[in-house]
Amino acid sequence: MRKAKCYGAGLLVSTILLGSSTDAVPKERWNPVDIAELASQETSDPDSSEELDAIFERFHERQIIRGSRLWSCRKDMNGDGKFTVSDIPLLIQCVFFYPGDSLIYNLLLEKSNKATFFELTPESYGGKFSFVASFVVWVAALLVAILGIIAYLLMEMQISTWWENRKQGRKGTN
């Protein structure tokens, strides 16, 4: 059964890479790992055309939801082959919007009423909802970091005060 699943996923990969009705999703955004993951979730015969069609449909849906968002933040964000000053704002934008875009992706993937209520689509990446969610996450992370530093400094002061009191206590007894 394991070999059949791998064969079914392999057939699906070759179908996608050799061409099919996948013009809506650019080939460089396909992730064969997603296909294998979907194929491994199947419990019946993955070599049947209905099963492969169902796997392909779910895979294609995930790729559409993944949409136009570039999910890897790298140095050459504009794709000109060089790291230049024009890549820096794009890199900052990619990092800043990542939490909000991840939230949008997960809401779209679970097909709940939440995504419908907030009117989220793959075009929502980098939009107002993503900005607000990302802003909240980054402010919370900043607050946690500041509180951590303050707690560390307070503990350091208490330890040094305790150590000084201990040293003075020993000197007074001699």
Residues in contact with 52: Cβ distance below 8 Å, sequence separation at least 6, in sequence order: 8, 11, 12, 15, 46
Q: How far is CA 75 from CA 28, 70, 72, 83, in A?
A: 18, 13, 10, 6
Residue 21 DSSP symbol: S
Model confidence at 12, pLDDT cuts 50, 70, 90, reads very low
The C-alpha atoms of residue 69 and residue 66 are separated, in whole angstroms, by 7
Quick check: is 54 in a domain? Answer: yes
Q: How far is CA 134 from CA 64, 126, 127, in A?
A: 22, 10, 10
pTM over 0.85: no
Q: Tell me the residue type at 32.
A: P
Please report the pLDDT score of residue 151 as a whole number.
93
Please report the pLDDT score of residue 45 as a whole number.
55
The C-alpha atoms of residue 125 and residue 149 are separated, in whole angstroms, by 33
Is the per-residue pLDDT at 53 higher than 90?
Answer: no
By the 10 Å C-beta count (0-12 exposed, 13-18 middle, 19+ buried), 154 is classed as exposed
Quick check: is 59 in a domain? Answer: yes
Quick check: is 53 in a domain? Answer: yes
60-117 tens-digit pLDDT: 677 777 766 767 788 888 888 899 999 999 999 999 999 999 898 888 888 778 888 9
Quick check: is 160 in a domain? Answer: no
Please give the residue range of the domain that contains residue 43: 1-66
Please report the pLDDT score of residue 55 as a whole number.
75
Q: Which residue is it, tokens 């979907």?
A: 38
Number of structural domains the chain divides into:
1
Average pLDDT for 20-33: 43
Higher-scoring residue by pLDDT: 80, 39? 80
Quick check: is 8 in a domain? Answer: yes
Q: At what angle do helices 32-40 and 2-18 cross, to 10 degrees?
A: 140
Quick check: is 52 in a domain? Answer: yes
Nearest Cα residue to 110 out of 75, 62, 145: 62
123-161 tens-digit pLDDT: 888 899 999 999 999 999 999 999 999 999 999 988 888
